[in-house]
Amino acid sequence: MMQLFPSTYFTYKNKQLYCEGVAVTQIVKQTGTPTYIYSKKYFEDASKEFDEAFRAVRHKIFYAAKSNFNLSVIKTFIELGSGVDVNSEGELYRALKAGAKPEKIILTSVGKTKNEIKLGLERDVLMIKAESEEEVYLINEIASSMNKIARVAIRVNPDVNPKTHPYISTGLSENKFGVDSETALKLFRKQKELKNILFTGIDMHIGSQITTLSPFVEAVEKLANLFLILKKEGLELIHFDIGGGIGIQYNDEKTFSVNKFAEALLPIVKKLNCEIIFEPGRYLTANAGILVTEVLYTKKNQHKNFLVVDAAMTDLLRPSIYGAYHHVQPVKLDESRSEIIADVVGPVCESGDFLAKERTIQKCEHGDLLAVMSAGAYGMVMASNYNARRKPAEILVTGNSFSIIRARETFEHLVFDEENYL
């Protein structure tokens, strides 16, 4: 039987899908498809819930802009009191444009260029995360040439298995991220020699879409030990950064609540007596968004049904690269229709271009609208122009009204950086 994704932000009224108080069809009438739609209330509620859960310790949330870097989305989190975790100079640019104060920005990335480090120092961001021994020396050198003291956290790879998709697992020794505990200790112990660095934090991020608590507990315990060893030796770090990674429900995963997350971690981090930093992305954005697409064709090859829709891997890449599950459901429910099992596929010339496989869904017709659920994180940010497709529009719903927060790309967008060279 066709299943509907459980959500209190995307609900059916008179068999029509709504985002908060706005009918999806009303939005699409104005914007066309494919279009991303986000619920502002979801951003607010998730953000407040996270903050509340950790009220027992001094803490700060740095929204991981990589999950959804639309300026209006970043701005929403800034207005909710969040800082921003940026993963490149481009994200730094976006965060500043959205109104983030440099002292509420963390600069991450396993491969920062000299220019990115320089930019971080020029802008005076709260801290730069170093992910290798060479990077620590380079930051010191660049800061020295700029006559600055760089505030640096070292990202430690705690070598725990987050039990998630291998492409989004980052905390195992075989992964490219961070340095091992011994190297971290060695580097922190060089504080006196590194004249242009002030070590302010220790950091981890063990992966994304993690649905069990034990990898977090194991990793935080390991890093808390390091933190306390350094404290004993006289190095007082002021931040302990746990990263992001909390898993959300896409299908039938058993996830944990942010309260359970806090319950598991608070006893460990309370002992540290410093500011605890979090960098959630997916948790704050994934179930705040849907991608709406129109059915272009229905067809049957041999025994297989296909719904060919106007959204593609270029709009939502997750199914193609991770085999990720996104629930797909009709925007208008019609119980008089029978159900079929179908693949939902896009127009791109790749067999990997699909949004869903073998789904039970009500029979569709040309022109029907479908909602691809849980699409607010790692959706639009991974959109591409492959097949010279224009990137979708993005809409933010607030109560009974909605606004366009990014217009659909125009044909001029597609050629603007080439036309002058013809």
Pick from 246, 280, 286: which is nearest to 264 by CA?
246
Candidate list 19, 274, 349, 364, residue with the active-site label: 349
Determine, following the binding rule CB under 6 A, whether residue 178 of this chain makes contact with ligand PLP.
no
Instruction: Give CA–CA dist 359/142, Å, rounded.
Output: 54
Determine, following the binding rule CB under 6 A, whether residue 20 of this chain makes contact with ligand PLP.
no
Q: Which of 178, 201, 244, 392 binds ligand PLP (CB under 6 A)?
A: 244
Residues 24-43 touching ligand PLP, rule: CB under 6 A, are: none
Determine, following the binding rule CB under 6 A, whether residue 280 of this chain makes contact with ligand PLP.
yes
How many other C-beta atoms lie within 10 A of the C-beta of residue 142? 19
Task: State the nearest-atom distance from the C-beta of 205 to ligand PLP, in Å.
Answer: 4
Which residue's CB is nearer to ligand PLP, number 151 or number 205?
205
Residues 277 and 365 sit within 8 Å (Cβ to Cβ): no
Which residue's CB is nearer to ligand PLP, number 66 or number 391?
66
Which residue's CB is nearer to ligand PLP, number 279 or number 368?
279
Q: Which of 59, 66, 112, 222 binds ligand PLP (CB under 6 A)?
A: 66
Instruction: Give CA–CA dist 152/416, Å, rounded.
Output: 39
Question: In this chain, which stretch among 131-139, 192-200, 216-224, 274-282 interacts with ligand PLP, using CB under 6 A?
Answer: 274-282
Please give the angle made by the CA atoms of 370, 73 and 82, to the nearest 5 degrees. 135
Residues 183-242 touching ligand PLP, rule: CB under 6 A, are: 205, 208
Residue 291 has which token pair? Answer: 């991608």
From residue 115, give the alpha-carbon distance in Å to each of 49, 339, 390. Answer: 37, 55, 30
Determine, following the binding rule CB under 6 A, whether residue 315 of this chain makes contact with ligand PLP.
no
Task: State the nearest-atom distance from the C-beta of 307 to ligand PLP, in Å.
Answer: 29
Question: In this chain, which stretch among 25-33, 252-260, 265-273, 276-284 interacts with ligand PLP, using CB under 6 A?
Answer: 276-284
What stretches of 255-399 adopt beta strand conformation (E)?
A: 275-278, 289-301, 304-309, 328-330, 339-345, 354-362, 369-372, 393-398
Instruction: Give CA–CA dist 124/110, Å, rounded.
Output: 19
Pick from 68, 59, 116, 67: which is nearest to 93 by CA?
116
Which residue's CB is nearer to ligand PLP, number 60 or number 389?
60
The string of DSSP codes covering 53-72 is HTTTS-EEEEEEGGG---HH
Determine, following the binding rule CB under 6 A, whether residue 283 of this chain makes contact with ligand PLP.
yes
Q: Which of 178, 243, 319, 392 binds ligand PLP (CB under 6 A)?
A: 243
**Residue 19 known to be catalytic:** no
Instruction: Give CA–CA dist 177/131, Å, rounded.
Output: 6
Active site residues: 349
Q: Which residues bind ligand PLP (CB under 6 A)?
A: 64, 66-67, 85, 108, 205, 208, 243-246, 279-283
